[in-house]
Structure 1
Amino acid sequence: MRVRGIWAAWAAVLTAAWMLALWAEQGQGLVAGANGESVQWAWLLRRDLLLLTGVWSLGMLSLTMWLALRQPWMERPLGGMDQVYRLHKWLGTTAAVAAVMHWIAKESSAWIKTVWGTAGRPARDAMLPWLAEGRSWAKDLGEWAFYALLLLVALTLWRRLLPYKPWRWLHRVMPVLYGALVFHSLVLLPQAYWQQPVGWLMGALMVLGSAAALWALAGRIGRARRYAAQVHAVQLLGTRPAQDPLEVLCALPAHWPGHRAGQFVFVRWDAWEGAHPFTVASAPGACGQTADGRTLLRLVIKPLGDYTAQLHRRLHAGQAMQIEGPYGRFDGRAPHADGQAVPVQVWVAAGVGITPFLAWLEARQPGSMPHAEAPGDGLSAAHLHYCTRDAATDRLLPRVQNLCAEACPPMGLTVHDAAQGQWLRPQDLEHHGPELDLWVCGPQSLGDALQQGAQAVRAQGGRWRLHREAFGMR
């Protein structure tokens, strides 16, 4: 809901700025026909849509550029870096849709000429005088940037069309495309708009967005949170190298700030491949330290793609690596109502989504470091629903069972074995009560089903507080 709310609020701000400019033009009679006649409504509608869609496209894309900087302060208002990326993705998609509408409005001139002719066409808007010579360049550059933007967004949404590595390198062109669109907007935005709120807003966004683009092109994103680390140990959890999970112990330097159970990091073993996000599958301090005092943390990686399926061959003890983070707010901190924590948490994990819960379970083991670091953040009773494709071959299930058996406060465990037809449904959680603190990490389809279940419970007077980890980083 935070992502939707921020998206809607930003769309409202951009639209309101455009409407203020529209009202100012109507009140002052700033729009006139090319030959002094009254403006024909179709031409006026085309002009207004061109300006609105341009404001929307550049405004959405500017915020997208800022979200790409991965600043830690962004996590609090959005609920975690995964939600930052989710908003980043949908703002970029909205910018592309607005750009398509902008292009359609531009190309509609031929259709309007055929139906209504050129009578009543608005006079060409006056541009900033010192940029007037760049009008032709701005139009051409904006059109080519538009085509490239559509291609990048299509490749982002259609993941099977392009593997991660070439997509990542192609995506690094985005700051350059943004610069081209800034030039297009700077030249073509009517001069009168620069004296109104819409011009002030667009000018500020161009400056801030361009600064973010330059920061990205300089390779500065996340640099302050990067740490030189080392592979301490690698173990295949099973006998099938390209199918069973891989456990990697990482040794962090002394200035590593630590993490909270449930957070994730960006890991880079290969400079060409780039960084991949992985959840830390161990609680703070649970893995101890190396002989020379370096902190150890555990990653559990399931071979879900070409790159992760080859890691068992690529990684070895002593290998240099880089870790960036930690990020995320999927930490299981219970909300409070009337001074009391919700008595029961329900955790739902599916597939690789079990990794944050492994860290949570380790934090509940006797003698472990406190799971909640802030004063007053206590632990409540919880129940884990673990969805697995085949319990008989799941190499993580025994660890989950042992950790649940030893947890304090007590942990309940229900295993949903897809091989036996045991699929989790929202109804399976209703016996826990109408007031739940529900934490979900798994495929989007599972999260969507539980979201609908939460809405149904709310309609009946109950409340499921739903927290979802969204790992769609592209």
Structure 2
Amino acid sequence: MKPWHCILGILLITSITVLIEIPSSTWLTSASLSLILGASALAYMATSCLLASRWRWVEWLFGGLDRVYEAHKWLGIWALVFASYHFVFKANLDLWNSVPIIEWPKYWTRLVRQLSYVALGLIVLLALNRNIPYRLWRWWHKLSGPLFVIVILHWLSFKSPIALNNPSGLWLTLLCGLGLLGALYKLLLYPVLAKAGEYTVSAVSAHKHSLHLELTPVQHGFAFKAGQFAFLALKEKGLREPHPFTIASAHASDGRIEFVIRALGDYTQKLRDQVKVGMLADVYAPYGQFKRQVDAPREIWVAGGVGISPFIAWLQDDASERLDNTTLVYCFNPSRAFPTAEQLQSMAEQRGVRFVGQDGGVDQLTETFKHAVAQTDPQQIQISFCGPKGLLERVRELMREQAIPEGNLHYELFEFR
């Protein structure tokens, strides 16, 4: 499922169930549109809380937790847009049989209505503001569940033709119930039930802009596939917030896992400066659906900066298998490259992978695509990508130029927040 499938599907179902409850002669009025958009905003908020739960079946439905978070973000944005229209235009007509589900005094009904709009705006603005330090952003964002309750109370207390026992009421009740369960799980149960294990930091290699961590399990490790990621939370003051990082190693018999981390944000910089061997950490994993196209006649792996992490894991996975049909293109800044291009080239050569370093000089990426197309049918070339959005657009442009189908591109979204 793609994010727009979710957004349009919910809007369609909500619109149909609401229109059933009102006279057809009033369908083309601003009041009807306000009612539909208000109900849809509530449905979007409920679904957003559900997606934030990180339940496995939700990740499977969207094909990866990165896609889940993309849908989560756009649901919040459209909920605010729809709620703005609903807030301005009255969602009621005299022709409708409108009654509140819960009868409250007008003062409280009006107050909850205004608070619900403020709550939604606050949730979305906090979620999209990248200037807020991660430690503060995360705790503010935890309020999404309790604030969602205010929006539900607004729905229950204002006059509308939506009753709990009609199609629209049942639909909204179902979504709100699932949303509340998801919010409750994420707030209270996730830290206990989703933890893959406790780990000890066994090796640290810190550089100016990057960090390499090796962790070993205190008791037992967890099973994962090369290319997946985990949420890492060190049990130290200021480092307890779970943060997503790609696992930069293949599954090991002793449960050891590694992370290659670029120290760019406030959390990762603090992690680089404070982490030491012997520290304990909780790991929540595994997540992600970024997989190799093992049956492809020709593979091209494109990594941008710290996006090299899943490909390091692929290079380590099943080391007995040769990958002579694969080319790894590493796009990096020489002053920030970690591991170095020389280290990656050595790892690639051991697996038979052709290594190409793109350090801002000659456009090796373009030459790699042209070389691959000259030797292989473009329809048979599979592209795996992990890196920033700008580089992703460049890859898509090269694929169009070389007639490589868009469906042959496999990528993981680089940013969660």
- Provide TM-score, normalisation by structure 2: 0.88
1-structure distance, mates of 2:159, 2:201: 53
Cα 1:332–1:317 shift into 2, 3 Å: same
- The structure that has the greater radius of gyration is 1
Say if 1:343 and 1:380, in contact at 8 Å, map to a contact too: no
Does the 8 Å contact 1:438/1:464 carry over to 2?
Answer: no
Pick from 393, 409, 416 the counterpart of residue 358 of structure 2.
416
Contact map agreement 1:345 1:380 (CA 8 A) in 2: no
Q: Identify the match of residue 224 of structure 2 among 240, 259, 262.
A: 259
Cα deviation, 1:65-113, whole Å, max 9, x if unaligned, reads 1111101222222111111111111111111121122123249x9xxxx
Match of 1:206 among 173, 176, 188: 176
Residue-by-residue CA offset, 1:165-184 (whole Å, 9 max, x unaligned): 11111101111110000111
Q: Do the aligned residues in 2 keep the contact of 1:391 with 1:397 (CA within 8 Å)? A: no
- Whether the 8 Å contact between 1:71 and 1:222 is mirrored in structure 2 is no
The residue number in structure 2 matching 1:50 is 34
1:389 partnered with 2:329? no
CA distance in structure 2 between the partners assigned to 1:98 and 1:66 by the alignment: 19
Q: 1:297 to 1:53 in 2, by over 3 A?
A: same
Equivalent residue in structure 1 for 2:112, among 141, 146, 171 = 141
Write the distance in 1 (CA, Å) between the matches of 2:17 and 2:164: 12
Specify which of 239, 242, 250 is matched with residue 208 of structure 2: 242
Cα distance, 1:146 vs. partner?
A: 1.4
Q: Deviations over 1:316-372 (max 9, x none)?
A: 1111111110111112144xxxxxx22011111001100110111111533xxx8xx
| CA apart distance, 1:196 | 2.9
Shift of the 71–169 alpha-carbon distance from structure 1 to 2, 3 Å rule, reads same
Say if 1:70 and 1:221, in contact at 8 Å, map to a contact too: no
Gaps in structure 2 of 5+ consecutive residues: none
Secondary structure (helix, strand or coil) at the match of 1:220 reads helix
Q: CA deviation at 1:250?
A: 0.4
- Tell me the TM-score normalised to structure 1 length: 0.78
Aligned to 2:24: 26
- After superposition, the C-alpha distances for 1:102-128 in whole angstroms (9 at most, x for unaligned) are 123249x9xxxxxxxxxxx63675324
- Which residue of 324, 344, 352 corresponds with 2:298? 344
Q: What is residue 80 of structure 2 aligned with on the other side?
A: 96
Structure 2 residue identity aligned to 1:149: L
Aligned with residue 467 of structure 1, among 407, 410, 417? 410
Whether 1:314 and 2:256 are equivalent positions in the alignment is: no
**Shift in Å, 1:21:** 3.1
Q: Is the 8 A contact 1:78 1:84 kept in 2?
A: yes
Q: Shift of residue 46 of structure 1?
A: 2.8
What's 1:399 paired with?
A: 343
- 1:105 equivalent in structure 2: 89
Q: Hey, what does 1:446 align to over in structure 2?
A: 391
Instruction: Please provide the CA RMSD for this pair.
Output: 2.9
Q: Which residue of 1 aligns with 2:7?
A: 7
Q: 76, 87, 102: which is aligned to 2:71?
A: 87
- Secondary structure in 1 matching 2:103: helix
Distance 1:221 1:6 in 2: 27
Q: CA deviation at 1:199?
A: 1.5
1:411 maps to amino acid:
V
CA distance in 1, matches of 2:44, 2:190: 22
Aligned equivalents of 1:226, 1:432: Cα separation in 2? 40
1:359 corresponds in structure 2 to: 313
Is the Cα contact below 8 Å between 1:53 and 1:99 reproduced in 2?
yes
Which deviations, in whole Å up to 9, do the C-alpha atoms of 1:376-421 show, x marking residues without a partner? xx978211111011279654322210111110xx311211112x26
CA separation of 1:94 and 1:265: change in aligned 2, threshold 3 A: same
What code does the residue aligned with 1:47 have? A
SS at match of 1:284: coil
Partner of 1:162: 132
Q: Give aligned pairs, total.
A: 410
Q: Aligned partners of 1:453 and 1:174: how far apart in 2?
A: 41
Q: 1:423 to 1:178 in 2, by over 3 A?
A: farther
1:279-321 Cα shifts (integer Å, max 9, x gaps): 1111111xx63xxxxx211111121112212323311111111
Structure 2 counterpart of 1:212, one-letter code: G
Matched, 1:279 2:246: yes
Give the fraction of aligned pairs with identical amino acids, expressed as a percent: 28
| Corresponding letter in the other structure for 1:429 | F
Change (3 A) 1:105 1:300: same
Q: Which residue does 1:187 correspond to in 2?
A: 157
Letter of the structure 2 residue corresponding to residue 227 of structure 1: G
* Paired AA for residue 32 in structure 2: D
Q: Find the residue that maps to 1:230 and give its secondary structure.
A: strand
1:176 matched to which residue of 2? 146
Compared with structure 1, are the counterparts of its residues 283 and 21 closer, same or farther at alpha carbon in structure 2 (3 Å cutoff)? same
Q: Retained in 2: the 8 A contact 1:155–1:167?
A: yes
Q: Is the CA contact (8 Å cut-off) linking 2:221 and 2:256 kept in structure 1?
A: no
Alignment match, 1:374 = none
